[in-house]
Amino acid sequence: MSLWKWAGGLVLGCAATLAQAELGLRTDGQVFGLAPSAPPAAFIQHLGEPTAELPLQQGRRGLLYGNALLLVFEGERLREVRCWKVQQFTDELFVGWLQDVERKGQPEGFVVDDRLRLGMPRQQVGAYLAGLEEAGDERSDLLQKNGRQIWLGYGPAPDYHLGDDPEQAVLVSISVLFEKP
Q: Which domains, ranges and CATH numbers included, belong to the chain?
A: 24-177 (2.60.460)
Q: What average pLDDT score do residues 101-124 get?
A: 78
* 160 secondary structure, DSSP code: T
Q: What average pLDDT score do residues 47-65 get?
A: 90
* Confidence check: pLDDT of 161 > 60: no
* 34 secondary structure, DSSP code: B
pLDDT of residue 41: 96
pLDDT of residue 38: 94
* Confidence check: pLDDT of 8 > 50: no
Best-predicted range by mean pLDDT (65-79, 124-138, 148-162): 65-79
Predicted confidence band of residue 17 (pLDDT cuts 50, 70, 90): very low
Which of 79, 73, 74, 52 is closest to 64 using CA atoms? Answer: 52
- The secondary element (H helix, E strand) that includes residue 69 is strand 69-74
Pairwise CA distance, residues 23 & 30, whole Å: 11
Predicted confidence band of residue 31 (pLDDT cuts 50, 70, 90): very high
Instruction: Give the 3-state secondary structure percentages of the chain, helix then strand then coil, rounded to 5.
Output: 25, 35, 40
What does each C-alpha distance from 58 to 10, 46, 62, 104 come to in angstroms? 47, 26, 12, 30
Predicted confidence band of residue 21 (pLDDT cuts 50, 70, 90): low
Predicted confidence band of residue 6 (pLDDT cuts 50, 70, 90): very low
- The secondary element (H helix, E strand) that includes residue 5 is helix 3-21
Pairwise CA distance, residues 75 & 87, whole Å: 31
Pairwise CA distance, residues 85 & 79, whole Å: 21
pLDDT of residue 78: 95
Predicted confidence band of residue 166 (pLDDT cuts 50, 70, 90): low
pLDDT of residue 19: 39
Q: What average pLDDT score do residues 52-64 get?
A: 91
pTM for this predicted structure = 0.75
